[in-house]
Amino acid sequence: MRLLVYVLSFLVVTVFGYMAASYFLPQRVSNLLLTGLYWASGVEKKQLQTAIGPINYLEGGSVKNSGETIVFVHGLFARKETWLHMASAFSSKYHIVLIDLPGFGDNPLLPDTEYTYQNQLKNLTVVLDRLNVEQAHIAASSMGGQLAGMLAVQQPARVLSLAFIGSPAGVPTPQPSDAENYLKQTGNWPILAGNQAQYKARNDFLLYKEPFTPAAIENTWMALELNRADNHKRILELVASQFTEEKPLLQIAGDIKQPVHIQWCQQDRIFHPSGAKLLNDALPRSQLIMLQECGHLPMLDKAEDSAASYMGFLANLKNTTHK
């Protein structure tokens, strides 16, 4: 009985201690939890010094595993950890690199002009060069999909294959999405967050069902995003206006000669799923997978299914002839 009391007391103290630390020291608790998560996922957090500032990234696996590298490229206002659950499935077979794009995630903000697509591509190239990534499979999400498509066209020797994990930017859809309708009705972008309530509403637009994230981590990321709210508004307006100057992904799709894997969720509220067939038809060598019960970010909503689908695509590249 005394032992049971001791055990229960220890658990109570531990739980309340964690809750108190999460509230008063969220950054320290977040770093501790993330370190454990990185280890469990088979990756290590690293930082690269470049001419455009420090670049934070996660690296796992080894080129000895398969001789091939997968680079995971997140979307607008996302971060490298977006890929963590899904990408961990690849660390035993591939060399994997999950980057915070320059100017995003844990990296310092850049001048607004650096967020044009061509400048983002230039900065991404700087990172790949410094990482000695001469060839890689590129898995990309949302805005990262537009960048990945441009990379495949402008630097074809560097890109072995493309994977759009979730709908990519640059594909005008026949039917408007919930996000487009919201913008027309309110004049506000649903993916911008200036306070805690807007942050939660933004996640509701992005995700079919929000996955569990420890409070200390979520609060740390939210605080960083809210502190950058004014910058993010300018960046979003710049990126959205780029398609008057930059050819969107759908227009350059015919020039992408690499095999392409497309995962598009039926419940995507950011880019309507009616765009999936348009993109698939425009690409010379593509495979389209429509996923159910997931939103704009299948690597979070359906991590296991998303990973299995992409793994199968990579495994069959040499033996399967896409359309």
Decide: 290 and 320 in contact? Cβ < 8 Å.
no
CA 189/CA 234 separation, integer angstroms? 12
Hey, which CATH number is domain 30-315, 3.40.50.2300, 2.40.50.100, 3.40.50.1820, 2.40.50.140? 3.40.50.1820
pLDDT in tens, 15-35: 333 444 445 456 788 899 999
Q: Is the pLDDT of residue 243 over 90?
A: no
DSSP state of 162: E
Instruction: Determine the pLDDT at residue 20.
Output: 40
Q: Where are the domains of the chain?
A: 30-315
* Angle (CA) 118 149 131, round 5°: 70
CA 6/CA 3 separation, integer angstroms? 5
Structure tokens at 241: 């206006």
List the alpha helices (DSSP H) in 45-107: 63-66, 84-87
Q: Is the pLDDT of residue 244 over 70?
A: yes
Instruction: Determine the pLDDT at residue 26.
Output: 64
How much of the chain, in percent, has pLDDT values that exceed 90?
79
Q: Give the H or E element holding residue 5.
A: helix 2-24
Over residues 283-301, mean pLDDT: 97
